[in-house]
Structure 1
Amino acid sequence: MADELLDRIIAGEFPPGASVPGELELSSRHEVSRMTVREAMKTLEAQRILSVERGRGTFVNPVNRWGSLDAVLRAASEGTNDASAAIQLIELRRMLETGACELAAGRMADSDIQTLRAHVEKMRLAHERNDLAAFVEADLAFHDLILQASDNVFVAVLFEPLHRVLEKRRTETSKVPDIQEHAIGHHQNIADALASRDPHRARDAMDAHMQQTLDDLKTYVLGDGTA
């Protein structure tokens, strides 16, 4: 029941600030007991998805107040406010991946550098063949290798739940040939920076890639001429 109600929230039926129906209406709509509805509401309240105001009702909180990572990821993947979620996802990647790249510069093996270059070549070939799935696969593998090579267990664990959302977003943005070309160039720069073993150069290269990714998202996908 909690999942079904969350689905309705994510779908935009109950946007942030909206009140959700009472127990009687929800139990009738979902064909469950009022006790089941009550437990579902308590679950969503505990996850800070809903807030109860005595005498007024139960209201949907903004996503940035939610306390469930799984719910936030579902909202980012399936929700209606795609623009905001897409930008915030890049902001999160920028914070984590620039640091991971800096760490990886001094920790990754020579064989990892060779593998990174192989991923870039796969991206280039996929671009030439117009093979979107292969391009996205190589792109994700490139970044995953850097995260693993940072040799920081917390980085890898934090990114693992994001994989499904990242794959969906990459597929959306990589449909644009110009974005693919930009990505190939930046991935090559990142591989070169990591090969130099210069942590600051590696961090700057990844940061430049994140900025280009954000600019491309606004220009080609969101249609924001301010990028």
Structure 2
Amino acid sequence: MASRGRAEIVEQHFLTMHQRVVDELGRRIAGGVWGPGDPLPVEDVLAAEIGVSRGVVREAVKALVAKGMLRVRPRTGTRVLPPEQWNHLDRDVLRWRQTGNATALLRDTSELRRIVEPGAARLAAERAGPERVRALYDSLAAMEAAAADPGLGGYVEADIAFHRALLDAGGNRLLGSLGRAVGIALEHSFLVSTRTPGAVEASLPRHRAVVRAVEARDPAAAAAAVLAIIEAAEEEIARSPGLPDDPV
């Protein structure tokens, strides 16, 4: 038993070191330290610089290959792939983009929302049963409670839960998975937009309109209501004191 306990500790330590190196290399790539086509330093150099073994570096590189950020070839070594080939729905990639080019992530998030959420709202209005509608009302209630007592925090988390519930409400599992995948991007967007004075208070009636349209089984009204939320968020982001100043 003691031997197995030590093995578990060693494995956990390796996983922790592994994630730290994946995070370090991923942030450098997303931040432009190494551009598309650039070779990564050899394993020995990276291992010495970061303070880990070559094996940890090797496994981290494999993880970044799986995320579409690196390519390994026998003669050309390990090279950075262009952003077009990255998996931008990967949670780590989304996190790294926040620190690399946050403005572009805000733009991409808004464009994705315009494409996806009105259609999801229509589907929700057509299909959502009582439990799905209740989930939307519960998320709205959490938003209202957080807005009433800003000192407690939690508004952004409740807002994310609302939009995930909306994507779930139509019963399309791919849409539901998409909502969970882009949670970090939504969080980044909401953290910026809600810093604009008056944004939270103005947002609540719009979200309430979405729920009522879904409950009334009015697809056109549901789509219009969620589009109004997205358009207002775009305006709030443009005026927000939390808007990043990095280039698009």
**C-alpha separation in 2, matches of 1:57 and 1:163:** 34
Distance 1:158 1:111 in 2: 20
Do the aligned partners of residues 93 and 16 (structure 1) sit closer, same or farther apart at CA in structure 2, a change above 3 Å counting? farther
Match of 2:94? 73
What secondary structure does 1:20 align onto?
coil
State the partner residue of 2:3: none
- Report the residue type matching 1:127 in the other structure: A
Corresponding letter in the other structure for 2:35: P
Specify which of 53, 63, 67 is matched with residue 47 of structure 1.
Answer: 67
Partner residue in 2 for 1:209? 229
TM-score by length of 2: 0.71
1:26 aligned residue (32, 46, 62)? 46
Alignment-derived partner of residue 142 in structure 1: 162
Following the alignment from structure 1 to structure 2, what is the Cα–Cα distance between the partners of residues 13 and 107?
44
User: For 1:27 and 1:115, how far apart are their aligned partners in 2?
Assistant: 48
Secondary structure of the 1:59 match is strand
1:166 aligned to 2:186?
yes
| Native 8 Å contact 1:147 1:155 kept in 2 | yes
Per-residue deviation, residues 18-77 of structure 1 (Å, max 9, x unmatched): 542223311322345546544543543353212458876643334332147243233245
- Provide the secondary structure at the position in 1 that maps to 2:45: helix
Q: Which runs of 5+ in 1 are unaligned?
A: none
**AA paired with 1:151?**
G
Q: 2:27 — aligned with what?
A: 10
* Contact 2:26/2:64 (8 A) holds in 1: no
* Aligned CA-pair RMSD: 3.3
Q: Which runs of 5+ in 2 are unaligned?
A: 1-16
Bigger Cα displacement from structure 2, 83-92 vs 29-38 = 29-38
Distance of aligned partners of 1:154 and 1:130 in 2 relative to their CA distance in 1, 3 Å threshold: same
- State, as a whole percentage, how many aligned pairs show the same letter: 30
Q: Helix, strand or coil: the match of 1:106?
A: helix
1:159-178 deviations in whole A, cap 9, x for unaligned? 22333453454344323332
